[in-house]
Structure formats: structure tokens, C-alpha cells
Chain A
Amino acid sequence: MASGQQRKEREQAAIDAVLAEHKGAHRDSLIPILQHMQERVGYLSVAAVRSIAHHLHLPASKVYGVATFYNQFRFMPKGKYHVQVCRGTACHVKGSLATLDAVRQELGVEPGETSKNGAYSIEVVACMGACGLAPLVCVNGTFYADMTPKKVRALLEEQRERQAAHEAR
């Protein structure tokens, strides 16, 4: 496994590569750069915020201020299992708040955060365009329809068992 130092270096290289594609950019490119960075690096690290600030000659607090304003940006790397819970209108009406609470309790993480061991992260999204399946939960790209707290608990339990079996091998 890569050491923390190596990981940091790799991440910085990725950050620099993104910025290299935005040579000579001005402050009005801040949001596209943030998006690009998140797409490439997976999240916005402190190092990324600092590097972007340096690149655009902006105070780091300004960059962080803009980034935190929008829900689309995350500041922790995604977990191995990225759980998206839809809180759009249709899902809300069908009780997605209870589903979300179940996911939070089950995983012990808050939306936007990643569990300490890096296994799970939760993201709240607004409508995934499949309202007919509401309430909807999506784990690493796989959609799970008609979710109730009970069903989602079972789903996560199963997920965890599979993970444990994988590790035991």
C-alpha cells in the first residue's frame, strides 16, 4: 500500500496536472476549475484549494468560500462504497428522509463525509431522474428502488458481509 507521503505526492501531481490545463485562467474560471478538479481527483483537498488559490491569485479563503457554497463539491475522498440517497421531491414524498436517517445510522457517517476507514461515504442528491422508482438509493452506480429503512439496512448489511468476505480471502 502506498504510504501517506506517496499518496500525497500522487495527489499533488494530479492537482498540478489539472491546473496545467487551465494556464492563464482568471478568477471567473474558478467554478469550472473546481469541477474539473473534483472530477479528476475525486474531491477537493486542502492542498487542492491552496493550489487553486495560488493559481488564480486569490486568497485560499475565497476559493474555499465559493466551493463550500455549492452542494456539488466534496472535501473528503469518496468511500469505497459511495452511497447516494435521493432527496428530490418524489423521493421525499415517498419517505426518503427516513431512508437517509437509516443510512446515516447504519454507517455512522453524515452526508458529505467519509467513514474513517475509507469504506463508506454518503451523498445527498436531488433527483436522479428515476422518480418512478422512488425512494431511490444508489451505491457505486447501481440503483436500488423503493427503499424503506428496513430494505436499506438489509442492503448495507449484505454489502458489509461481502466486504468482510473479500477481506478474509
Chain B
Amino acid sequence: MAIIYIDGKPLETQDGQNLLEACIELGLNVPYFCWHPALGSVGACRQCAVKQYRDENDKQGRLVMSCMTLVTDGMRISVDESESKDFRANIIDWMMTNHPHDCPVCDEGGECHLQDMTLMTGHNYRTYRFKKKTYVNQNLGPFINHEMNRCIQCYRCVRYYKDYAGGHDLDAFASHNHVYFGRHEDGVLESEFSGNLVEVCPTGVFTDKTLKEHFTRRWDYTTAPSVCVHCALGCNITPGERYGKLRRIRNRYNRSVNGYFLCDRGRYGYEFVNSDKRPKAPLKRQMIDGKPVHVPMTRDEALSEIGKFFSNGSKAIGIGSPRASLEANFALRALVGAENFYLGLSKADGKLLSAVLEIVLSGPARQPSLGELKDHDAVLILGEDMTNVAPIAALNIRQSVNNQPRANAKAMGIPEWNDLPVRRAMDTDRGPLFIASVAPTRLDDVATQTFHATPDGIASLGFAIANFIDPQSPAANVSGEVRALAQQIATALQSAQKPLVVSGPSCRSEAVIQAAANIAWALCRKAKPAGIYFAAPESNSVGLGLFGGANIENAAEALRKGGADTLVVLENDLYRRVPAALVDELLSLAKHVLVVDHQYSATAQKAEYVLPGATFAEGDGTLVNNIGRAQRMMQVFNPEGEITESWRWLRRLRAASGKGREDEWISFDSFLHALVAEIPAFSHILDAAPTAAFRVGGLKIPRQSHRYSGRTAMKANVAVSETGVTADPDSPMSFSMEGFSMMTPAALMSSFWTPGWNSAQSITRFQEEVNGPLEGGDPGVRLIEPQPDSAVPYFDAVETNESHDAAWTALPLYHIYGSEELSASSPAVAELSPKPYAMLHSDDARARGLLDGDAVTVKIDGQEISTSLKTNDTMARGVVCLPAGLEDAPYIEFPAAAEILRSVTS
């Protein structure tokens, strides 16, 4: 702790901070541009100048850049002193010489840091008399607009994009008064994290392109805290709605999860919510002109007609979903009975998920939170392409490679926040980070060493590493070269302070997952606080896994046995999970098929009945992320038509069938209590957010800002007098501007605003300290904790079978854009989804007389897939990689034996 005197007042600050951070934590208004909490200080913009005095007799003082000045005990400064104020006003005057002052037509207007800082410094009149410099903008792809005229040359964008996110194609060009920030030519920004530029840039140079389609000002959104549904990490988001459309997604800071950043799939994958293909009313299939057609029916018709299928004495099979909330899955389980509830996973997927859960539930290694990934100082990734499967985890692992090299800077006494000298001291040192994967990954550029092999090869490497660390862990039979690598990795992990082992199901191999566990456990037994981190496929995969239950194949068996007339499929497109023939069989075995979903999926299209479910933005629910963190999504807006949460539909059906009472589980909280009573593993989810009865000063928390406009006018087509506000029985939030928006608990916080701070930068006003947790603690609860004293035995090593016959092993490659169902139906993401391909090692291809770009046919399980060949110089041999989960691509159960033939062109 240090005491500093600011304008004569003694104030407490933390040692080692810079003055700007100290002032921010103290709630003072010191303007700044180039400093960013995640990027540190470079002292480039000169906006944060304050006066520093030698001692109490020094009346003169000197100007210092607060972001570059280390806090020292007894230090005296002034923020209010007139010379420093004039200096700051001058700086902003100069920054604005070329700024177009086009706020009214700028998408940043109203949440612009430049606007805020201009007001804060009191710069009112332009003094520069000459013409403004203008620039040509670039087309940067489907996500981001570029408007270079608005740039104030703070350099944040390139520091974020290159230094933090590891991008290569955004840079500063030219010099003097015509510095340009963009690409070397027009084109899609390559980084998967480019959308963060929108929040990092303090002006309107980079803005959301998907938002531009239906633009709304910041104060006109209806928002609520929510959770991203596009992968298993559960990044915290703030969706914004107006006029019944979901307009945009913004980051919602949570130190334990995503921090300041989102990936582009999470930020721009939301348009599926606005799709007109979605079912909006209950649908029933009827034959019209000999063709099956879905016709809408009323809620009451649907409930009375479908409810009968669940009345006492009848049996129904329910298939749940890893992309549906805990509540939705539980409601299905309650409707059909636990014994008839099946996880919506294939046998293979279920097995991989159980393998992971068994390890994290019984083993001694702790799973770090997503945010904590940044703190590890030696990382091994076993068989995952994190950037494409768990994007923000990849971004955070990319930060971890700086930890050991940063020690150099520390030894030289350079404070952590002083970005340029720290980077200079680190030089080109990175790591250690080791990546074993089937094909190259997007993190390879910062890897100490990469190793590309078949899943068995990767597992063997893993077992060999574990064996080096602890000879008790079973050895694997590996070549001398692999042994040497294993030893190198083992040494690096053992000599680190906080080693981390990362793995997941993408290799489709239990052995890879188990090898990862052996390594982490071996480190734990050697008294290293090793972390273990598994990627998971979908937003609620782990939550579903914690329910426990059988798989889709088992559901088919149960139906085959007979006795069940009805099949209920919850938020799940079975055609994406098991072979089409099996789905067709399932659907034909049941007399009645009911799908509850917000997507009109291939499965829904074949159902007899479809009930319109709510998306994440239209309902409340709980998701459990890949490490078992339960997080609450709050409903953002009221959807149109009969759309409502799946759990509510299923509850209604239960009441209609006579199984449940009409008044049972009416509110979300009562339903949540029922869930927890039934499945104690979930008891902590009650702590994920306050109950609906929570109030601040007797008031609800508003979803709309106090500046929300047009609340009467926007519904004037319905009624000229203001229409009433819909009540929300499920949460302590109101669908209006009324309520108390200060002192909101973090779990209910969706928009971060304090007077004078309208931009994304306002977040620092809500953190306990710079980069710290939100005041009152980060929302979310961990459901899975490690068993430090556990004596679980090591897994046995696999026998690698290196002799592969004529057949190839087909394995999936996941794509951030295209492999995930929901985001892939959003146009901007779909635009970047890859074309189908089959990828082989160049030598493998050459040996068969095939070249890159050739048309080939891949035969798997009797299916013939015509596609084009890609070759790669470093991927595993004997393997053919196919993109996973692309729209319209047939389902393949990986790993599969494949044949590759040159397509005959007629």
C-alpha cells in the first residue's frame, strides 16, 4: 500500500501500479486513450498528463504522463491544476484536427470514449483552421466497418490485434500526419478475435457491420446479462434488442471467464435469433395436396392435443440436448420420467464426455477458469485446435506464453504495465507451449514445439510424458524421437510454477483425454499445482453430462422394444449427431414425434408437432460451461408469437397431461428449486443469480437505460396511449426503464454506465481494482472442484497401432465459422464458413498421384462424398481430415475408415 497526495488529499493506492490506474481506482476522472487495462501503458497519446510535485514546497511541479508514472509512497500530484488541464485540452484539440466530428452519423456516437474524453477535458471549440485530412476506407469483411477518418492515432488497435491477439494483417501505415490503420489491402481480417477492435478502438473507426443492418443507439437497447451459446466456454455477453430484433452482442466483463474479449463467432453469430425460418407458433403436420405441410395451431389446441400423449399410462421417450439449458433438459426429464430421458448425444460423444467428467470429478488436478488460463507458465495442448473449438481459451493461452519471458522484465525492475519495455525485455522468447495435434493449429506460431500425429500417436506421446514425470504412470511404446520430445515436455512442465495440460474430445479419442489426465495427475503427485483443462463441444455439454443418462442409440433401442408411442426431441437436430438412417428410423418408430426448438432444423421439419422454443435472448436459463461453471442467462426481450422457453412448454405439457398441477412450477425460481431437489449435483446453481424476489431499494433492475427513447411512439401503431409493460415473474429485472440501476449485483448487470463514462471503457468503474473482479464478485458458480487427496489410479497406456492398411482414418477438423450449428445459420458467419474439403498430407497425396485442388471422392460407411483435395506438409500421415458439422454436409461418425478415390470427370 502507498499513500499518495492528490490535490492535497492523502489517498490509499496499491504499490506497483501506475498513477493512471491509481486514479481510476480512486474514481477520479483522468482522461486517457492509449492505456487499456488489458494492454497496459505506452505513453503514446499524452492525454493522461497530470502535475507531479517534488514535495509539499514545490509549487511549480512538472507534467508527467500518469499512465507511465509508477506510484510511490508519499508522492504528490494534482489532477485539477490549471497547466495540466490546459495541456490535456490542447492534446485533445490536436487529436481532433482531422477528426470528422460526424457523431450524428457515427455508430459509435453515444458510447464513444473520444466523446467522453472530449467532454471531460472541456475542449469545446476547434482552433485548427486548416483542412482536414481524409482517408480511403477498406472492406474488412462481413464483421467490421472501417471509417479511418475518425482515427485519433492512439495505436490501441494494432497493439491489441498484433501484440495481444497475435494477428498479422492489421498494422499502422505511413507516418507523420497521415498514419493509417488497416490492412495492406482490402480483405477479411484474419484474426478470429477481430470484433474486439470495436470495443478497443476509442472512436468509431471500427464498428459492428452486422449491427449496421439494423442500427440502434446505445441508450435504446433493451439488455440483460446473458451467456454466449456458441461454444462451451460460456463467455459473458450483453445482447441488445429493439423492435423485437436482436441487434448486437457486446462483451460483458467477467474476470473469471472472458475478461474484456469475445471471439467473432460469439459476437457476430447471433443473427439466427432474427431468422424468419424460426417456428413462431405451435406447428402440426398435415397432408395438403398429398404433401406434408406444417400448419400453425393455437397454444391451447397444441397443449390439449399433445398433452394427451403424456397422460398416465402412456410412455414417451425424451431426447435432451447439450445446447439446451439445464432447466429445459430437466423439464423434459420431468415430463417423460428419468428412466425415459436420454441425453441428446451419440454413443461416441457420450463416451468422450463421460471420460472427461470422470477425470475432473475424481482427480486431484484443478480446472482453471477461462480467465485463469492466462496465469499458467507452461502449457501442453494434447489433441485440440483451441482456436476453432474454444476460441477465447486459445486467446488466453496465447497470453500465457508471455509469463516466463516476462520474468526477464521483472528481473530488470520493469513494472508489468509498462508494455513496450516489457516486450523489449521479452524479446522473441515465448513459451513454453507444446501443441500435439492432428493438423496444424492457429496457435502453432507461438508454440515452442509442435507435434502432428494420429490420435494414437498423440496419446502415446502423452503417456510417455506422464511416465517421465512419474514412473508409476504407465509407459508407452514410442520411438526414440518421440521419447526425446516427451522428455523435453516433461522437463518444461516440471520446472514451471503453474503447468497446465489442455485436451478435449476433438481427436475423438478417449486415450488422448486419459493421457492428458495422467500427465496432470503425475504433476500433482510431484506436488506441482498442475491445472487440467478440457474443451467441450457445446454450450451445455457438461451440464447435460452431469444429469447422467443414456445416449441416442439407447433411445432407438428403447423405441424398437416398443411400449413408447411418443418421442420428444428437445432443441436438438439429431441429423447432426447420428447417421441419417438411424434418425429416420427413430422418427418412424414413434407414433408421435414432438420437437421443441427455436430452430426449424432438419429434425423439426420431419416432426408431427413443433413447439416454438426461445433462444438464449428470449428466455431465462442456466448453462454449465466446460469447467463446470454454472451461469445464468437472463431473458433480454419478449419474443413474438407463441415463442417461449422450452422448459415452459414442457411444464405446460406436463400440466396438460395431468401429470403435474396447473399451478406447479409457474415461476422460474420454483422450477429451479424442483430441479435442485431432484438432482443435488446442481444445488449450487441457485447461487448463480439472485431470485426474482430480489430488489434494490424496493425496486427491480431496469433492462432499459434511463435515456431509452420512444417508448410510447414505437408502439403507436398498436395504441396511441402507452402500452403497458410486460411483467417478468422470472427475474428481478423489469422490461422497462423503471427501477434502480445503481448498486446492481454483478449477476444482474448488463450495461455498464456511470455519468461521463458511456463507452466500453466504463468497465473500470465497476471493477474492484483494475483488471479485478466486478464489485461484489464475478457472477457464476463452480459445480466441480478437484479432489486434492484423491488416489485415482492412472489410466493404462494405449497400444499404438501404426500399421494402417489401405484405409485412411477420417478425422474431423473444426472451424470456428461453420462447425457450430446456430452461428452457422447467421449470414455473416456463414459467409466465412469453409467450402467442403478433404485434407491429406502432401506426401500421402503424392504417393497416390493426387494433387492439391484435385476433385476426389471420399467413401465412408457406404457414403460417397465428393469434394476437393487440400494438401498439407506437416499434418499426420495416414489421416484424412474433413471439416466438421458444415451445413448440408452428411453426418460422419469420426473416427471412420475412409477410402479416397479420384473423382471421375465425365
Chain B associates with chain A = yes
Taking Cβ atoms with an 8 Å cutoff, the residues of A that contact B are 46, 49, 59-65, 68-71
Encode B172-187 as 1/0 by CB contact (under 8 A) with A.
Answer: 1111000010011100
B684 part of interface (Cβ distance < 8 Å): no
Contact B175 A69 (CB under 8 A): yes
Known: A46-B185, A49-B184, A64-B184. A59 touches B175 (CB 8 A): no
The distance in angstroms between the C-alpha atoms of A34 and B173, with both chains bound, is: 15
- Contacts A59-B171, A61-B170, A64-B185 known; 6 new A-B pairs at CB < 8 A: A46-B184, A65-B171, A65-B172, A65-B184, A69-B173, A71-B175
Nearest CB to that of A46 among chain B residues?
B185
B212 part of interface (Cβ distance < 8 Å): no
Report the minimum CB–CB distance from B421 to chain A (whole Å).
22
Report the minimum CB–CB distance from B174 to chain A (whole Å).
4
Nearest CB to that of B183 among chain A residues?
A61
Contact A61 B174 (CB under 8 A): no
Nearest CB to that of B176 among chain A residues?
A71
Number of chain B interface residues as a range: 10 to 19
Sample (10) of A-B pairs whose CB atoms are under 8 Å apart:
A46-B184, A61-B171, A61-B183, A62-B168, A64-B171, A64-B184, A65-B172, A68-B175, A68-B180, A70-B175
Contact B180 A59 (CB under 8 A): no
The distance in angstroms between the C-alpha atoms of A101 and B25, with both chains bound, is: 52
Residues on B with C-beta less than 8 A from A59 are 168-169, 171
The distance in angstroms between the C-alpha atoms of A68 and B175, with both chains bound, is: 7
Contact B185 A65 (CB under 8 A): no
Residues on A with C-beta less than 8 A from B175 are 68-71
Contact B173 A65 (CB under 8 A): yes
Taking Cβ atoms with an 8 Å cutoff, the residues of B that contact A are 168-175, 180, 183-185
Nearest CB to that of A65 among chain B residues?
B171
Contact A60 B174 (CB under 8 A): no
The distance in angstroms between the C-alpha atoms of A71 and B183, with both chains bound, is: 19
Q: Considering residues B168, B171, B180, B183, which has the most beta carbons from chain A within 10 angstroms of its beta carbon?
A: B171
The distance in angstroms between the C-alpha atoms of A63 and B168, with both chains bound, is: 11
Residues on A with C-beta less than 8 A from B171 are 59, 61-62, 64-65
The distance in angstroms between the C-alpha atoms of A64 and B180, with both chains bound, is: 11
Nearest CB to that of A60 among chain B residues?
B184
Report the minimum CB–CB distance from A113 to chain B (whole Å).
12
Nearest CB to that of B184 among chain A residues?
A64
The distance in angstroms between the C-alpha atoms of A61 and B170, with both chains bound, is: 6
Report the minimum CB–CB distance from B175 to chain A (whole Å).
5
Instruction: Name the prevailing secondary structure of the A interface residues.
Output: helix
The distance in angstroms between the C-alpha atoms of A60 and B170, with both chains bound, is: 10
Contact B169 A68 (CB under 8 A): no
Residues on A with C-beta less than 8 A from B168 are 59, 61-62
Q: Considering residues A62, A68, A69, A71, which has the most beta carbons from chain B within 10 angstroms of its beta carbon?
A: A68
The distance in angstroms between the C-alpha atoms of A8 and B272, with both chains bound, is: 44
Residues on A with C-beta less than 8 A from B170 are 61
The distance in angstroms between the C-alpha atoms of A74 and B183, with both chains bound, is: 17
Nearest CB to that of B161 among chain A residues?
A61
Please provide the 4 A-B residue pairs with the shortest distance between their CB atoms, ordered closest to farther.
Answer: A64-B184, A59-B168, A61-B171, A68-B173
The distance in angstroms between the C-alpha atoms of A46 and B173, with both chains bound, is: 14
The distance in angstroms between the C-alpha atoms of A12 and B175, with both chains bound, is: 28
Contact A68 B183 (CB under 8 A): no
Residues on A with C-beta less than 8 A from B169 are 59-61
Residues on A with C-beta less than 8 A from B174 are 68-69
Nearest CB to that of B168 among chain A residues?
A59
The distance in angstroms between the C-alpha atoms of A71 and B178, with both chains bound, is: 11
The distance in angstroms between the C-alpha atoms of A65 and B171, with both chains bound, is: 7
Nearest CB to that of B175 among chain A residues?
A69
Report the minimum CB–CB distance from B590 to chain A (whole Å).
55
Nearest CB to that of B174 among chain A residues?
A68
Report the minimum CB–CB distance from A57 to chain B (whole Å).
11
Report the minimum CB–CB distance from B693 to chain A (whole Å).
55
The distance in angstroms between the C-alpha atoms of A61 and B184, with both chains bound, is: 5
Nearest CB to that of A62 among chain B residues?
B171
Residues on B with C-beta less than 8 A from A61 are 168-171, 183-184
Nearest CB to that of A64 among chain B residues?
B184
The distance in angstroms between the C-alpha atoms of A62 and B172, with both chains bound, is: 9
The distance in angstroms between the C-alpha atoms of A70 and B170, with both chains bound, is: 18
Residues on A with C-beta less than 8 A from B172 are 65
The distance in angstroms between the C-alpha atoms of A60 and B190, with both chains bound, is: 13
The distance in angstroms between the C-alpha atoms of A67 and B147, with both chains bound, is: 22
The distance in angstroms between the C-alpha atoms of A68 and B174, with both chains bound, is: 4
Report the minimum CB–CB distance from B521 to chain A (whole Å).
40
The distance in angstroms between the C-alpha atoms of A65 and B184, with both chains bound, is: 8
Report the minimum CB–CB distance from B442 to chain A (whole Å).
14
Residues on A with C-beta less than 8 A from B183 are 61
Report the minimum CB–CB distance from B344 to chain A (whole Å).
43
Residues on A with C-beta less than 8 A from B184 are 46, 49, 60-61, 63-65
Nearest CB to that of B190 among chain A residues?
A59
Residues on B with C-beta less than 8 A from A65 are 171-173, 184
Report the minimum CB–CB distance from B180 to chain A (whole Å).
7
Nearest CB to that of A59 among chain B residues?
B168
The distance in angstroms between the C-alpha atoms of A65 and B173, with both chains bound, is: 4
The distance in angstroms between the C-alpha atoms of A59 and B169, with both chains bound, is: 7
Report the minimum CB–CB distance from A1 to chain B (whole Å).
27
The distance in angstroms between the C-alpha atoms of A32 and B169, with both chains bound, is: 23
Report the minimum CB–CB distance from B338 to chain A (whole Å).
56
Report the minimum CB–CB distance from A94 to chain B (whole Å).
22
Report the minimum CB–CB distance from A74 to chain B (whole Å).
13
Nearest CB to that of A63 among chain B residues?
B184
